[in-house]
């Protein structure tokens, strides 16, 4: 051991010099890209500001948004990536309107491919993305959307009634809606996407695995036993396996001529038709690939929907005049005591409620 250290000791100054040079070049490279754009001037090597993003995610993005107030965008450096934060709506539209595959790189997570798996829509561009969009088009026909609306309402009403019971058990005491809204959205998504193919036991396991995924998503990406990132990656594998099994069941039902009752059924109905006509499966239609894309749908349906719902509740609570008008309009058309579902025609009649939802 001593002889080994003595062998390395002459190289120590070179190693330290190389390390310092590397850090200096990384800092200079960041500043050259940053120029005069708002953002931190000094960054940690490789990690950048990843630690503050993980430990204080809310304040991290608040600071980033404040920095972007003047120009509409700001910059930062996270896990070896130079990132641009866009605050301005028109600038966001301009960027996303550029559909060239080399226009920009969308990074859902610094180690997203390892976390989400090889088959995912997040990193798909160009013709592959267009072809997949064509394949999933049957999922969003008026007939399919009306089916989803009915499923969503049944579940939402069940959860609202359970929230009402919770509130009545502790009158005058506020209840936290964040986790309740997330669980409602998760069950809504599960039912809309793969409805009858998930048992109650499978739904409970699904919820636990999704919680592991959510936790690991915002932790340091150490893929080692006991770390949250490893637990999240393994949870994603189990979730995709479950959703792949749902695709297998649906494909069988649809090939037998059964009626669609959820999103995967509308998707597999068209896939089964193509297989019957051409005797070959279309590209990207294996059960594992379908399961992976379903997980992407589920991921996209969760955080944004929960956040939007919570903000809507918060804003309505802070604008009682708007809440009163929404209640009056809804009550003229529909009553929760009726146990009837709101029809598409009734939704179109709720002009003010629609305007509030869009706002």
Nearest to 285 by CA among 260, 300, 267, 298: 267
What is the token pair recorded at 294?
């379903």
Q: Report pLDDT digits (tens) over 164-220.
A: 999 888 888 888 888 899 889 889 989 999 988 988 888 888 889 988 988 888 787
From 6-15, 206-215, 219-228, the region with the lowest mean pLDDT: 6-15
User: What's the CATH architecture for 130-318?
Assistant: Orthogonal Bundle (1.10)
- Half-sphere exposure (Cβ direction) of 137: Cα atoms closer than 13 Å: 7
From 28-32, 219-223, 287-291, the region with the lowest mean pLDDT: 219-223
In the block, residue with structure tokens 């749908």: 297
Torsional sign, CA 88, 301, 265, 237:
positive
Q: Report pLDDT digits (tens) over 33-60.
A: 998 999 999 888 888 888 888 788 888 8
Q: Residue 3's pLDDT is what?
A: 60
Q: Report pLDDT digits (tens) over 288-343.
A: 999 999 988 888 887 788 888 899 999 999 999 999 999 999 999 888 778 788 88
The pLDDT confidence band at residue 238, using thresholds 50, 70 and 90, is: very high
The pLDDT confidence band at residue 76, using thresholds 50, 70 and 90, is: very high
The residues, ordered by sequence, that sit 6+ positions from 87 with a Cβ below 8 Å of its Cβ are 65, 68, 69, 72, 73, 74
Domain locations along the chain: 15-97, 130-318
**Percentage of the residues of the chain whose pLDDT score is greater than 70:** 94
Mean pLDDT calculated for residue range 142-160: 89
In angstroms, the CA 198 to CA 252 distance is: 15
Mean pLDDT calculated for residue range 279-293: 86
In angstroms, the CA 250 to CA 263 distance is: 10
Q: Given phi > 0 = left and psi -120 to 50 = alpha, else beta, which region is 35?
A: left
Q: Residue 24's pLDDT is what?
A: 84
Is the per-residue pLDDT at 20 higher than 60? Answer: yes
- Tell me what the pLDDT averaged over the chain comes to: 86
Is the per-residue pLDDT at 2 higher than 70? Answer: no
Q: Residue 11's pLDDT is what?
A: 65
Q: Report pLDDT digits (tens) over 133-142.
A: 888 888 888 8
Is the per-residue pLDDT at 253 higher than 80? Answer: yes
Helix (H, G, I), strand (E, B) or coil at 347: helix
Is the per-residue pLDDT at 152 higher than 60? Answer: yes
| φ, ψ of residue 122 in degrees (nearest 5) | -60, -35
Q: How far is CA 338 from CA 36, 96, 156, 342, 343, in A?
A: 60, 44, 15, 10, 13
């Amino acid at each position: 051991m001593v002889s080994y250290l003595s062998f390395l000791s002459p190289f120590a100054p070179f190693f330290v010099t190389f390390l310092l040079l590397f850090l200096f070049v990384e800092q200079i490279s960041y500043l050259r890209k940053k120029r005069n754009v708002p953002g931190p001037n000094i960054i940690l090597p490789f990690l950048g500001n990843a630690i503050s993003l993980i430990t204080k995610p809310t304040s991290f993005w608040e600071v980033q948004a404040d920095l972007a107030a003047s120009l509409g965008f700001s910059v930062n450096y996270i896990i070896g990536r130079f990132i641009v934060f866009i605050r301005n709506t028109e600038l966001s539209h301009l960027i996303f309107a550029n559909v060239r595959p080399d226009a920009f790189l969308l990074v859902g997570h610094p180690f997203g491919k390892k976390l989400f798996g090889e088959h995912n829509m997040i990193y798909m561009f160009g013709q592959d993305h267009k072809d997949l969009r064509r394949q999933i088009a049957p999922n969003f026909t008026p007939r399919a959307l009306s089916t989803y609306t009915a499923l969503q309402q049944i579940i939402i009403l069940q959860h609202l009634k359970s929230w009402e019971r919770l509130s009545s058990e502790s009158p005058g005491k506020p209840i936290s809606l964040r986790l309740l809204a997330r669980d409602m959205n998760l069950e809504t998504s599960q039912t809309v996407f793969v409805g009858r193919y998930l048992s109650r036991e499978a739904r409970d396991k699904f919820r636990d695995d999704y919680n592991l995924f959510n936790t690991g998503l915002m932790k340091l990406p150490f893929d080692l036993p006991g770390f949250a990132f490893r637990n999240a990656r393994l949870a994603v594998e189990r979730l995709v396996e479950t959703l792949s099994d749902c695709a297998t069941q649906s494909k069988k039902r649809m090939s037998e001529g059964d009626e669609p009752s959820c999103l995967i059924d509308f998707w597999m109905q068209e896939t089964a038709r193509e297989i019957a006509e051409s005797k070959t499966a279309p590209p990207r239609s294996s059960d594992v690939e379908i399961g992976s894309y379903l997980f992407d749908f589920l991921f996209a349906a969760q955080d944004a929907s929960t956040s939007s719902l919570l903000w809507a509740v918060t804003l309505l609570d802070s604008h009682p005049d708007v809440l009163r008008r929404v209640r009056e309009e809804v009550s003229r058309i529909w009553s929760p005591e009726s146990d009837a579902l709101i029809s598409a025609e009734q939704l179109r009649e709720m002009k003010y409620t629609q305007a509030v939802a869009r706002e």
